[in-house]
């Protein structure tokens, strides 16, 4: 038998600190992250960026009402080194991919800022709530030092909620990437954020929990050996009460399917489909998220109604 130390991976857990009107989430990604990354051959800088974005997606997605709905994070920066990054969360399922210019990336240092990667870009955060059928979308510039800092701006500007986001990554002994994150928000009683007229960043109860949370280091966040609840305890053990809200298992999920892709292609005029096909009459479609290949024969479209 192999003796392995217990690990807490691929999970997001919630907590509240009632006396401070604060709520939070902690998340850590291990094998799920590895499965997502292994569908691509990204250089380390892009792997780290996507790992942080996926952790952020898990933290934000876990705040969906009733655990249902979808949360999408999309960074777009036309003409930049990273021109597109998309991640989404649905029922604990995560997926994500990045489009980038490998040539220009290789000319940057090992630790480029977000701004160097996504110059003049913006971040769109979308919550699709199933229970209320509402969609909230906010867009903020990607001029922050990190994707976590950009998301803090989103909550401040679009939702008027003071928020703190910490993200950290590290490689384990096998060289696999582990990512962890902490998300903390101030929601004074009776306020849900979206109806607020102004934000108070200098509220004493928020300043207190924010100061504690900023002491959380990347190494702790991404340490698979520390249970998520212990991270919360380390920060807030002097508070009169910290309520744990249980956790959600995270999985790698992709919703691509051959039937859907076939339906989309069927809507194109036959001549355009013919232009997409190779000399054997096969249109090759790759899922951007999971790299699954869907070869579709031109001859299979003949009988389909337009």
Which residues sit at the interface with Zn ion, rule CB under 5 A?
254, 256, 287, 289-290, 292
Closest CA to 287 of 266, 305, 306, 264: 264
Closest CA to 135 of 143, 126, 148: 126
Q: How far is the CB of 296 from Zn ion (least distance, A)?
A: 15
Residue 285 falls in which region: left (phi positive, over 0), alpha (psi -120 to 50) or beta: beta
Q: List, in order, residues 6 or more apart from 178 with CB less than 8 Å away.
A: 9, 28, 29, 30, 33, 169, 170, 171, 172, 222, 223, 224
Q: How far is the CB of 226 from Zn ion (least distance, A)?
A: 32
Closest CB to Zn ion among residues 256, 277: 256
Closest CB to Zn ion among residues 119, 256: 256
| DSSP conformation class of 19 | G
Is residue 96 within 8 A of residue 75, CB to CB? The reply is no
Closest CB to Zn ion among residues 149, 287: 287
Q: How far is the CB of 256 from Zn ion (least distance, A)?
A: 3
Tokens of 114: 């977000």
- Phi, psi for 305 (deg, rounded to 5): -70, 145
Is residue 26 within 8 A of residue 255, CB to CB? The reply is no
Q: How far is the CB of 51 from Zn ion (least distance, A)?
A: 19
Give the residues across from 244 on adjacent strands. 15
Closest CB to Zn ion among residues 38, 292: 292
Q: How far is the CB of 289 from Zn ion (least distance, A)?
A: 4
Q: What is the CA radius of gyration of the chain?
A: 21
Closest CB to Zn ion among residues 249, 286: 286
Q: How far is the CB of 291 from Zn ion (least distance, A)?
A: 7
Closest CB to Zn ion among residues 233, 294: 294
């Amino acid at each position: 038998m192999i003796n392995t130390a217990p690990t807490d991976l691929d999970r997001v857990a919630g907590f509240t600190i009632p006396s401070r009107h604060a709520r939070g989430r902690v998340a850590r990604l291990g094998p799920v992250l590895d499965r997502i990354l292994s569908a691509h051959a990204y250089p380390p800088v892009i792997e780290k960026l996507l790992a942080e974005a996926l952790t952020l997606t898990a933290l934000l997605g876990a705040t969906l009402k009733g655990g249902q709905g979808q949360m999408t994070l999309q960074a777009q920066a036309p003409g930049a080194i990273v021109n597109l990054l998309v991640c989404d969360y649905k029922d604990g399922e995560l997926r994500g991919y990045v489009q980038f210019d490998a040539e220009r990336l290789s000319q940057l240092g090992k630790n480029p800022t977000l701004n160097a990667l996504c110059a003049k870009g913006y971040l769109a955060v979308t919550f699709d709530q199933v229970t209320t059928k509402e969609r909230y979308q906010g867009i903020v510039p990607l001029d922050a030092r990190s994707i976590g800092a950009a998301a803090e701006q989103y909550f401040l500007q679009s939702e008027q909620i003071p928020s703190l986001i910490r993200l950290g990554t590290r490689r384990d002994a096998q060289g696999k990437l582990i990512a962890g994150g902490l998300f903390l928000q101030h929601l004074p009683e009776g306020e849900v954020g979206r109806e607020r007229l102004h934000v108070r960043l200098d509220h004493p109860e928020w300043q207190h929990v924010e100061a504690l949370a900023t002491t959380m280091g990347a190494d702790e966040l991404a340490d698979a050996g520390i249970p998520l609840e212990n991270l919360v305890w380390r920060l807030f053990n002097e508070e009169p009460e910290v309520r744990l809200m249980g956790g959600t298992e995270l999985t790698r999920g992709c919703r691509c399917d051959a039937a859907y892709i076939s339906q989309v292609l069927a809507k194109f005029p036959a001549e355009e489909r013919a232009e997409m096909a190779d000399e054997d009459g096969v249109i090759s479609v790759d899922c951007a998220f999971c790299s699954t290949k869907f070869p579709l024969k031109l001859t299979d479209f003949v009988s389909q109604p337009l």
